[in-house]
């Protein structure tokens, strides 16, 4: 049995969470958990690790909620926490690497936007998920989350030029994968 929301607007929901009301916390979690899990999965391939990061993100959101000043979007404020938690998980796992080879850094490639129109969202997310960690992280931060290369550099502890080169390489790899996928589709349907 799913109960209707008790808190009818965002301000009421935030106020309820700040007061420690479990119903408000549950409603906030139920409202945003799927979206935030999708964000976590964009950065972390492992389902369990992504779930852990999502839960840690909600704990951080509840902990820092009193710092939200109502400037800008509440969802945007929470998303930044989720992205930060995902990046912290990547950093803390030494087996994950954000490096890019010098050979890759020297390559410059055109965007893949024209090829993306023909893909389903699920297919695109799968292709992004298959990128190496460094490329995937920079691509997500730049193309999906809207961070600048300077902000990405600060978040990841890399140079702005490294961020740009990783984005270019991610685009190149995606373009190759999209072209391959389109060829496979033409062969099977053609």
Where do the structural domains in the chain lie, given as residue ranges? 10-92, 102-189
**What pLDDT is attached to residue 37?**
93
CA 5, CA 52: separation in Å to the nearest integer?
A: 25
Tell me whether domains 10-92 and 102-189 share a fold.
Answer: no
Token pair 């049995």: residue: 1
Radius of gyration of the chain (CA): 19
- What is the per-residue pLDDT across 72-128, written as a single tens digit (0 to 9) for each? 899 999 999 999 999 989 888 755 445 444 344 333 333 444 444 445 667 777 888
Q: pLDDT band for 53, please (50, 70, 90 cuts).
A: very high
pLDDT value at residue 111: 41
For residues 131 and 79, what is the distance between their CA atoms, to the nearest angstrom? Answer: 22
Q: In this structure, how many other beta carbons lie within 10 angstroms of the beta carbon of residue 79?
A: 18
Q: What are the tokens at 64?
A: 């820092």
List of residues 6+ apart from 74 with CB closer than 8 A: 10, 14, 68
pTM over cut 0.75 = no
Closest CA to 127 of 178, 167, 166: 178
84 CB neighbour count, 10 Å cutoff: 13
Interval 125-174: pLDDT, tens: 788 888 898 899 999 999 888 899 999 998 888 999 999 999 999 999 98
* CATH numeric code, 102-189: 1.10.10.10
Q: For the domain 10-92, what is the CATH code?
A: 1.10.1740.10
């Amino acid at each position: 049995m799913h109960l209707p929301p008790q808190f009818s607007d965002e301000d009421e929901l935030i106020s309820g969470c700040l007061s420690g009301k479990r119903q408000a916390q549950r409603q906030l979690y139920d409202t945003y958990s799927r979206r935030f899990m999708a964000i976590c999965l964009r950065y972390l391939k492992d389902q369990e690790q992504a779930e852990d990061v999502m839960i840690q993100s909600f704990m951080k959101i509840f902990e820092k909620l009193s710092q939200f000043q109502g400037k800008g979007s509440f969802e945007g404020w929470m998303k930044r926490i989720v992205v930060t938690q995902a990046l912290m998980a990547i950093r803390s796992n030494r087996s994950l690497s954000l490096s890019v080879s010098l050979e890759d850094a020297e390559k410059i490639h055109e965007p893949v936007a024209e090829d993306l129109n023909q893909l389903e969202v699920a297919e695109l997310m799968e292709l992004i998920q298959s990128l190496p960690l460094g490329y995937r992280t920079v691509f997500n931060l730049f193309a999906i989350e809207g961070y600048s290369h300077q902000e990405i550099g600060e978040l990841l502890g890399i140079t702005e030029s490294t961020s740009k080169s990783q984005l270019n390489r991610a685009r190149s790899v995606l373009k190759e994968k999209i072209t391959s996928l389109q060829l496979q589709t033409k062969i099977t349907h053609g």
